[in-house]
């Protein structure tokens, strides 16, 4: 089996000879058991029919990615932090969730592939940090002004924050993100602080499961907007409605306090 160092060298050689991107280099080398000669023969045998499908990118955009690529040719957690900082944000800024969604990041620990980065920014006409920073500023504005976009980011947040094995969020993690999205900032959709703080107390005191599911995450958004205060909740909530069981339990918990 080839060493990682030798594979990286062959990838660079393939890219240098063919002007193809890393994803294509890895594909042909892997298909040909990491023989550079066989991989090149394979590419040229396919001829222009394959070469014409290869997407090329602006040199400035490619250079931008290379500035943040780690040794494996991808952006890892450390280089991503530097990238976010150079864009003018901190990792804890909610707009970084927008960036992850834009780049189609599957979870918080996933590396960002070269093609993933290049194709996204090329489609948006951005090739350098200034372009990208300006675009991120527009997404920040959308978070504050566009309820539909905010809801998309809210839903996506669960996807990247969730435990990959259990597909659930711990209560502490869920509360941290609810706080970030609704209490620490004033975005396009607002939930009253009293409703959220009451919900947090319930989860910590009464929820035996100690986790939050996707259904609970999504339905809280609708629930908190429909019942923004206890008066509305007690007068209008129906346990026969299509709410998750945990919402019935929360309603019962509220009733006992009055």
What are the structural domains of the chain? Answer: 4-51 (1.10.8), 59-145 (1.10.238.10), 166-256 (1.10.238.200)
Q: Tell which residue, 207, 216, 105, 212, has the closest CA to residue 166.
A: 212
pLDDT at 78: 92
Task: Kindly report, residue by residue over 75-102, the tens digit of the pLDDT.
Answer: 999 999 999 999 999 989 999 999 999 9
State how far the Cα of 197 lies from the Cα of 229, in Å rounded to an integer.
Answer: 11
Task: Kindly report, residue by residue over 188-210, the tens digit of the pLDDT.
Answer: 999 999 999 999 999 998 867 78
Query: Is the pLDDT at 172 greater than 60, yes or no?
Result: yes
Query: Is the pLDDT at 164 greater than 80, yes or no?
Result: no
Mean pLDDT of 170-183: 96
pLDDT at 47: 60
- Confidence band of 166 (pLDDT split at 50, 70, 90): confident
Q: Tell which residue, 257, 225, 228, 252, has the closest CA to residue 238.
A: 252
Instruction: Provide φ and ψ at 169, rounded to 5°.
Output: -105, 140
Mean pLDDT of the chain: 89
Higher-pLDDT residue of 128 and 115 is 128
Alpha-carbon distances, residue 202 vs 113, 180, 184, 197, 250 (angstroms): 41, 19, 20, 9, 7
pLDDT at 106: 84
């Amino acid at each position: 089996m080839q060493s990682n160092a030798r594979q990286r060298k062959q990838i660079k050689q393939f890219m240098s000879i063919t002007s193809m991107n890393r994803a294509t280099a890895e594909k042909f080398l892997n298909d040909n058991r990491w023989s550079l000669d066989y991989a090149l023969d394979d590419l040229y045998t396919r001829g222009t029919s394959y070469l014409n499908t290869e997407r090329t990118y602006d040199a400035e955009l490619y250079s931008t990615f290379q500035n943040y690529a780690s040794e494996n040719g991808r952006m890892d957690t450390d280089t991503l932090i530097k990238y976010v900082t150079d864009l003018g944000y901190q990792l804890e800024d909610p707009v970084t969730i927008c960036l992850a969604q834009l780049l189609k990041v599957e979870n918080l620990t996933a590396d960002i592939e070269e093609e993933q980065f290049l194709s996204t920014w090329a489609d948006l006409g951005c090739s350098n940090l200034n372009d990208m920073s300006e675009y991120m500023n527009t997404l920040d504005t959308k978070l504050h002004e566009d309820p539909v976009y905010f809801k998309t980011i809210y839903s996506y947040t669960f996807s990247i924050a969730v435990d990959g094995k259990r597909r659930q969020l711990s209560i502490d993690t869920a509360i941290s993100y609810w706080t970030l999205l609704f209490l620490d900032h004033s975005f396009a959709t607002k939930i009253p602080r009293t409703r959220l703080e009451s919900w947090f107390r319930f989860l910590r005191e009464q929820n035996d499961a100690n986790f939050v599911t996707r259904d609970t995450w999504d339905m809280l958004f609708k629930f908190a907007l429909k019942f923004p205060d206890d008066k509305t909740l007690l007068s209008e909530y129906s346990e026969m409605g299509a709410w998750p069981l945990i919402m019935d339990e929360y309603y019962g918990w509220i009733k006992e306090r009055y």
